[in-house]
Amino acid sequence: MKRLFTFVIALLSMFAAWQSAWAANVVFNVTVPTPTYQVWMVGNFQGWDPTKMVQMTKVDATHYTLTLDDATFASGITKENMEYKYASGNDANYAYIEKNADGSELAANRKYADSNGNDVVKSWALVYNPAVQPLPKNVTIDVLTPAGTIECYIVGNFNNWFGPTAPADSIKMKKIKTNPDGTIVFEKTIYTPDANLLAYHFCSGPAWSFEQTPVVDYHYPEVNPIVTAWKLIYDPSKVGDIHITATVPAGTDSVWIQGDYLGWDMTKAVKGVKNPDGTFSFTAPLVQAIEYRLYNKPDWGFPEVDETGAQRANRTASFPADANISITVINWLIPTAISEVREASNIIYTRNSSIVVEGVTSKVDVFDITGRILQTKKIVGTFISKSLHSGIYIVRVDGATKKVAIK
């Protein structure tokens, strides 16, 4: 009996070690400015949901750490394409999000592939302090804007960063003064449930394309900020419809458009009209300039990608120059109709828990059975995947696919 018990314990230990070996842990270590009382993370691994930020563990006053299991990541996200940001507090409006040293927005999201999770935060939009109590109040803001400004809209966390597409009466400011030098003062009174957290800035029109530059948030008690320039000055007399025709990858059955003129709100994504030739048509009504991107599903995890396989940068268009334009989508981050694509004829087999594909001419993608992308590689020759768990996988080779089982 003792010998059997010892054998069972050894077997369980081996199983635990096997599980540990398979676990794909993603480790983060960040250095932060003082004072910092907490550090949280948000990113595509959890759907960029600010209500579900993940709290890090404090090492000392300026260092925090966190270990994530990539098995818990959102569909299609791996450490190879993971993007994220840090925050000094857990707030649904990103009130405590990290900033550059000068207080401006980061140029881009952080990428695990760039730093392996070893990062340095330069500053916070606000520092969360659990000892400070909320300060609800009405705040009147007078902003000085550049000459030529026709309209002004205030955007901020007072309305959950709904943006310049929010109902006009809630964000459009009143013109109260034109100075001798042509600069113009606009005014608006807003309510905030906590002035300690108030962050705001401005747009010259009802879309993010008209945002101030540089993009720097203002915070209470600052109520007389100065805007020195706009990305673009909105002129309501110069708007019109922008018509877009998109050529998309074979097998695409539906396409959605999302952009600043829709508030970057995925619940307002517009489905394109499929034409007889397989292209899709969209119309952005009564706009002056827009930023946008196409998706093959109304979900942030399904964007179009660029030549490198990464999410494509925002497209831009303006009226009347781009009143009728044609664009081409290179590929989708996650195809939604893999089964419709032709079957791969390459020699494909498994070896030591990896998938081997011979005769590759351009690119290989490996998906799990749910469609989550696990690995992507551009290669000519023989592809060998990373070690995989037992299960069914879908391999896409140069546009063709095949199911593969690892036992």
Q: What's residue 159's pLDDT?
A: 85
With CA atoms as reference, report the closest residue to 51 among 25, 87, 75, 83. Answer: 87
Distance CA 125, CA 33 (A): 12
Cα-Cα-Cα-Cα dihedral sign, residues 58, 199, 291, 261: positive
Name the CATH topology of 239-332. Answer: Immunoglobulin-like (2.60.40)
Cα-to-chain-centroid distance, residue 213? 21
Q: What's residue 9's pLDDT?
A: 46
Q: What's residue 309's pLDDT?
A: 86
Name the CATH topology of 137-219. Answer: Immunoglobulin-like (2.60.40)
Which three-class secondary structure string do you get for the chain? CHHHHHHHHHHHHHHHHHHHHHCCEEEEEEECCCCCCCCEEEEHHHCCCHHHCEECEEEECCEEEEEEEHHHCCCCCCCCCCEEEEECCCCCCCCCEEECCCCECCCCCEEHHHHCCEEECCEECCCCCCCCCCCCEEEEEEEEECCCCCCCEEEEHHHCCCCCCCCHHHHECEEEEECCCCCEEEEEEEEECCHHHCEEEEECCCCHHHEECCCECEECCCCCCECCCECCCCCHHHCEEEEEEEECCCCCCCCEEEEHHHCCCHHHCEECEECCCCCEEEEEEEECEEEEEEECCCCCCCEEECCCCCECCCEEEECCCCCEEEEECCEECCCCCHHHCCECCCCEEEECCEEEEEEECCEEEEEECCCCEEEEEECCEEEECCCCCCEEEEEEECCEEEEEEEC
Q: Are 352 and 325 in contact (CB under 8 A)?
A: no
Q: What's residue 130's pLDDT?
A: 87
Q: Give residue for tokens 């579900």.
A: 52
Question: 137-219 with 239-332: one CATH topology?
Answer: yes
With CA atoms as reference, report the closest residue to 272 among 290, 289, 259. Answer: 259
Cis peptide before 320 (omega within 30 of 0): yes
For domain 2-124, say whether CATH 2.60.40 is its number. Answer: yes
Cα-to-chain-centroid distance, residue 42? 10
Residues of the chain with pLDDT under 50: 1-2, 4-23, 337-341
Q: What's residue 161's pLDDT?
A: 82
Q: What's residue 372's pLDDT?
A: 63
Distance CA 301, CA 313 (A): 14
CATH of domain 338-406: 2.60.40
Q: Where are the domains of the chain?
A: 2-124, 137-219, 239-332, 338-406
Cα dihedral value 340, 346, 347, 349, nearest 10 = -40
Q: What's the Cα-to-Cα distance from 259 to each of 51, 173, 195, 207, 293, rounded to whole Å?
A: 22, 23, 30, 9, 6
Q: What's residue 310's pLDDT?
A: 85
